[in-house]
A and B are shown apart, each in its own frame.
Chain A
Amino acid sequence: MKKILIIEDDQSLCTELSTLLENSGYNPIILKDFQNVKEEIKKNLPDLILLDINIPYTNGELLLQEIRKEWNMPIIMVTSRNNELDEVLSISYGADDYITKPYNPTILLLRIGAIFKRIEKTSIIEKYKELNINMQKGIISKGNQEITLTKNEMIIFNYLLTHQNKIVTRDELMTDLWNNNEYINDNALTVNISRLRSKLRDIGYKDMIETRKGQGYILT
């Protein structure tokens, strides 16, 4: 499980953030001692850090520079300061991403997921059951059978794939699609899912995407 360190001084925000991360399969750690941040990092060695700019004793941007001197785990700046200058500074000091509060939780998770994916450089071809999935080309193959997915279908399938064993809501799928510049409406999502289903049926997976009434979808 990936360890994520939360550096944020607002207590209730910390708790909610850690619940969110926990529900999504991460291992969140909340920083308690703001005077010895580096000690805490050394002790825990997190895989990723969520760092606020307004923190006690120091300032997020300074801390970011300090951390960068010793470690290079990914850091996402999470802040309520909504201006270009802070963003440019943060990125130039070595932050991997910059998100302003209040943020959409799904998007925060997508950004975290994207960073991990980038680091692990997962091979383009993933496997699920007997399927070989080529993200880049949008091709799913089983033996010598092959289906081609459209961009939207691939985004949906990929999201279901990365959230196996979990019910995925329509809203999550929608957010991921919109996040990828595909601004489709509700009907189009339904159409895309049923097309994806019928394509999967063609290669022998009739009920791969199961509907959970009132909740969403799950990959079986």
Chain B
Amino acid sequence: MKLKEYLKDQLSFIITFILNIMIILLMLTTFKVEKNLIIAIIFILLISNLYYLFFNYFRKKGFYQELLNNIELLDKSYLVLETLQKPSFYEGKLLHQALYDINKSMNEYVKNLEIQVNDFKEYIEMWIHEVKVPLASLTLMLHNNKKEEKNLNEQLRRIEDYLEQVLYYVRSENAEKDYLIKETKLEKIMNSIALKNKDDLLENKIDLIVKNIDYQVLTDSKWLEFMMNQIINNSIKYRKKETNSYIKISAIEKEKKVVLTIEDNGIGIPQSDINRVFEKSFTGQNGRKKSKSTGMGLFIANNLCHKLGHKIMIESVENHYTKVSIIFVKNKYYDVTK
């Protein structure tokens, strides 16, 4: 609150005040009042009015300055009301009450939305579990009938993959409640991913080369499995048709970190796209070549990585290779509690 602006705002009062003084001065001189008395009267008037003006200024300044300051300081400025003292002047009280009411109604609105979103998420999760049951029946039916099942199985697997993607997207948004971090063997996770993608890999003649992954890391195994599956799915999708494709998976330990690397010799990612692959719905040049790209896989993987405290990095040369690394930090606190 600036004094200049305040005085400008109080202009009408100041003008009236000056006019008043002039009129009183005029009247007093017309009635030939003693000079000293005139000075005294004018002085008293001046003091009392100026006192009123500045007293008012400082009273308001205290409240408004605090309001503006706190809005700037808080990262959630809608909480500002909680930090203020109730003002002593009427205008301020009105404003305070209005802000309080607005806040309250907004809170109720947001709360309702939150409930709706959560209900929806819960429903989606439940729905995914429901859909998996008929999917399981279909898989068994195909197996029991022993017909030309390869193609049908592949389609089922695609449905399953897309379902997983939705599931983990929902989970990554309100992840706080359903992850569990514990010591997990990379080998075990690798095994279930390999089995999941076995048909795809063999069908497309992609060699899976796994070595040196005999490490334990702190993670949620289901989430890590999902992330690695997304990366490997990408490697399968964006392979080079003409050469012998491979996917190499290995890990090393350095400086209290375990780095897991997944490398392929596929079509790679253009330099212009590589910084954006973790963005939501980003498909890039490669995505446009393949119609099946949703641009969600790496986005979700990256999100989950952040939640788990891992780091994910990608490096690629177009037409040569793509290399994705996941970095697991060893947690000292965990070692202490062991």
Residues of chain A having any CB pair with chain B under 8 Å:
10, 12-13, 16-17, 19-20, 23, 54, 80-85, 87-88, 100-107, 174-175, 178-179, 181, 183, 185-186
Contacts and interface: CB of A to CB of B under 8 A. Distances in A.
B137 A20 contact: no
A20 B143 contact: yes
Given A102-B135, A175-B198, A181 B144 contact: no
Contacts of B210: 181, 183
Interface string B129-155: 110111111111101100000000000
B129 A12 contact: no
A23 B198 CA distance: 23
A13 B133 contact: yes
Contacts of A84: 179-180, 182, 220-223
A91 B202 CA distance: 33
A174 B195 CA distance: 10
A66 B167 CA distance: 31
B220 A179 contact: no
B178 interface: yes
Nearest to A12: B137
Interface string B95-137: 0000000000000000000000000000000001110111111
A50 B140 CA distance: 15
A54 B196 CA distance: 24
B144 A102 contact: no
Given A84-B180, A84-B220, A20 B194 contact: no
A102 B137 CA distance: 8
Given A20-B143, A80-B133, A102 B178 contact: no
Interface in B201-218: 202, 205, 207-210
A17 B221 CA distance: 27
A7 to B, nearest CB: 14
A88 B132 CA distance: 21
A101 B196 CA distance: 12
Closest 8 CB pairs of A and B: A16-B140, A80-B132, A102-B136, A101-B136, A183-B208, A84-B180, A105-B143, A80-B129
A88 B194 CA distance: 22
A16 B144 contact: yes
A83 B178 contact: yes
The binding surface of chain A is classed by DSSP as: helix
A185 B139 contact: no
Nearest to B177: A85
A178 B164 CA distance: 22
Contacts of B275: none
Contacts of A104: 139, 195-196
A20 B220 CA distance: 32
A82 B166 CA distance: 13
A19 B222 contact: no
Contacts of A80: 128-130, 132-133, 136
Contact of A81 (B129, B138, B179): B129
A178 B144 contact: no
A16 B141 contact: yes
Contact of A20 (B140, B179, B180, B196): B140
The interface centre, meaning the residue of A81, A83, A183 with most chain B CB atoms within 10 A of its CB, is: A183
A17 B137 CA distance: 8
Given A80-B132, A103-B136, A179 B178 contact: no
Given A16-B137, A104-B195, A183-B208, A85 B202 contact: no
B191 interface: yes
Given A23-B144, A81-B129, A103-B136, 18 more contacts: A13-B134, A13-B137, A20-B144, A80-B130, A82-B222, A83-B178, A84-B179, A84-B220, A84-B223, A87-B222, A101-B135, A102-B132, A102-B138, A174-B198, A175-B198, A178-B195, A181-B190, A181-B194
Given A16-B137, A84-B220, A101 B191 contact: no
A23 B144 CA distance: 8
A205 to B, nearest CB: 29
B202 A186 contact: yes
A187 B156 CA distance: 26
Which of A54, A101, A102, A181 has the most chain B CB atoms inside 10 A of its CB?
A102
Given A84-B180, A102-B160, A178 B136 contact: no
A185 to B, nearest CB: 6
B187 interface: yes
A183 B223 CA distance: 22
A179 B178 CA distance: 28
Contact of A88 (B136, B180, B205): B180
Contact of B133 (A101, A105, A107, A179): A101
A175 B140 contact: no
A107 B144 CA distance: 14
Given A84-B222, A88-B180, A185-B205, A17 B187 contact: no
